[in-house]
Amino acid sequence: MAGKKENSSYISGKESRRITKFNRKVTKKLEHERADANKDPALYTTKMRDENNVVEFDNVCTYFFSDVGTVKAVDGVNFDIPRHATVGVVGESGCGKSVTSLSLMQLLQRPSGQTVGGEIRFNKGDGTAYNIVNTPNAIMEKIRGNRISMIFQEPMTALNPVFRIGQQVDEVTQLHHPEMSEEEVKNRTLEMLELVGIANKEGVYNMYPHELSGGMRQRICIAIALACSPTLIIADEPTTALDVTIQAQILDLLQNLKDKLNSSIMLITHDLGVVAGMADYVVVMYAGRVVEKGTADEIFHHPAHPYTIGLMKSKPVVGQKVDKLYNIPGSVPNPVAMPNYCYFRDRCEMRCDQCDGVYPPEIRISDTHVVSCYRFHGKGEVLGYPKSVNVEELI
């Protein structure tokens, strides 16, 4: 068939065997390094760049060693989550926004998914910080669910169908506070259920997940996430599976709780409307890299990157009549073979001669507004190029 050569997903048997062998070697080595539980704490303790941040992502690279080649799902991502702030991460499916959050929780599908480079610094609060990338599992278990917790997209699948709601919320508290008595744990759970707006808390405590509606289940997931008063809540598309009216309830709840508990929120979503209503800072991701970041006001009123501009124009807005929606031409490049120029160049309508060069650096165009685009070259301070990791050197 003539299509075979054109079809980029085609690989020969020989090539396939080479990839598999390479993957096995790399993942074995990385897994071996991670398995060392009695690692010297100096290896995973570091200092925050700014004490006011809860989390700093510094050139994080998370790759998946798949059978068709190495997928650079997250490739040199830089951004901070300040204390008591809501940071919205926006992008289309496959842009790496979920993988970024999973790297922070060390919940990647291992062994194929590995964080191979960069630092994720999580503030301990005593002047030092964990570098999550090197933190061994034993320590991670104490952070996960306790200091950082996560709300998942599908409340239907995130809850275990065979356990009662009460047991599932209790479990988190029991795990992280073994000193608490059963009575105290139950009281804590009931308190949490009340906090997330469940009127019939005693009744719900003894129910199974299937007895609750989608919105109620998402409230339970939030209660589980908040049980230990975490410093950071990751909400991964918390309202995508819900109806508009229920979405409004849940967003309202999250906003109120954030103020009550003094936590930060990392809100991952593809809905620009949700981000605008919730976030203080917005990070726009495209094909595994951050293309633009800034305050919500900057991103929504002065978008700089052509991708952000295109994304805003392609979404119909209630109350604004347009004849034809703008659509970004083309599609995302193949994640296995990324080009060495700007990933957005082939779809961009504002490209210039410089765009043929290497991937654009991060350029600071105001105190908080950073964009990766050559259109702003010379109009601001260049912060540096995203660093990719050469996988061949990992062995």
Partner 1 sequence: MSENMNRIASQGAGSSENILEVRNLVKYFPIKSSFFKRTIGNVKAVDGVSFNIKRTQTMGLVGESGCGKSTCGRTILRLQDKTAGDVIFDGQDVFALSKEELRKLRPRMQLVFQDPYSSLSPRLPVGEIIGEAVREHGIVPKEEFDDYITRVMDVCGLPSYYKERYPHEFSGGQRQRICIARALALAPDFIVCDEPVSALDVSIQAQIINLLKQLQEEFGLTYLFISHDLSVVEHISDTVGVMYLGNMVEYAATEKIFAHPLNPYTKALFSAIPIPDPDVKLNRIILKGSIPSPANPPAGCKFNTRCEQCMEICKHVPPAWKEVEPGHFCACHLYNNAQEQADAENRMEQLKRDAKDKKETA
Residues engaged in binding partner 1 (CB under 8 A): 1, 3, 7, 9, 92-93, 213-216, 243-249, 251-252, 270-277, 279, 296-297, 300-301, 310-312, 314-319, 322, 324-328, 331
Cis preceding-peptide flag for 111 (omega within 30 of 0): yes
The least CB distance from residue 89 to partner 1, in Å, is 15
Residue 313's SS3 state is helix
Residues 6+ apart with CB under 8 A from 55: 80, 81, 104, 120, 121, 122, 123, 232, 264, 266
Residue placing its CB nearer to partner 1 in the complex, 190 or 251? 251
Residue placing its CB nearer to partner 1 in the complex, 194 or 297? 297
The least CB distance from residue 215 to partner 1, in Å, is 5
Across 84-112, b (16+ Cβ under 10 Å) vs e yields ebbbbbbbeeebbbbbbbbbbbbebeeeb
Helices marked H in the chain: 3-6, 13-35, 97-105, 137-143, 155-158, 165-176, 182-195, 201-205, 214-226, 244-261, 272-278, 296-301, 306-313
If you ran DSSP here, which 8-state letter would residue 145 be given? Answer: T
Residue placing its CB nearer to partner 1 in the complex, 214 or 361? 214
Separation CA 251–CA 248 (nearest Å): 5
If you ran DSSP here, which 8-state letter would residue 153 be given? Answer: S
Phi-psi region of 229 (alpha: psi -120 to 50; beta: other; left: phi over 0): left
List for the chain the helix, strand, coil content (%; round to 5).
40, 20, 40
Residue placing its CB nearer to partner 1 in the complex, 76 or 310? 310
The least CB distance from residue 114 to partner 1, in Å, is 26
The least CB distance from residue 252 to partner 1, in Å, is 6
Residue placing its CB nearer to partner 1 in the complex, 66 or 249? 249
The least CB distance from residue 297 to partner 1, in Å, is 6
Residue placing its CB nearer to partner 1 in the complex, 130 or 343? 343
The least CB distance from residue 3 to partner 1, in Å, is 7
Residue placing its CB nearer to partner 1 in the complex, 118 or 306? 306
Distance from the first to the final alpha carbon of the chain: 37
Compute, in degrees rounded to 10, the torsion defined by CA atoms 182, 183, 184, 189: 90
The least CB distance from residue 49 to partner 1, in Å, is 27
Phi, psi angles (nearest 5°) of residue 115: -85, 110
The least CB distance from residue 257 to partner 1, in Å, is 15
Residue placing its CB nearer to partner 1 in the complex, 186 or 270? 270
Residue 288's SS3 state is coil
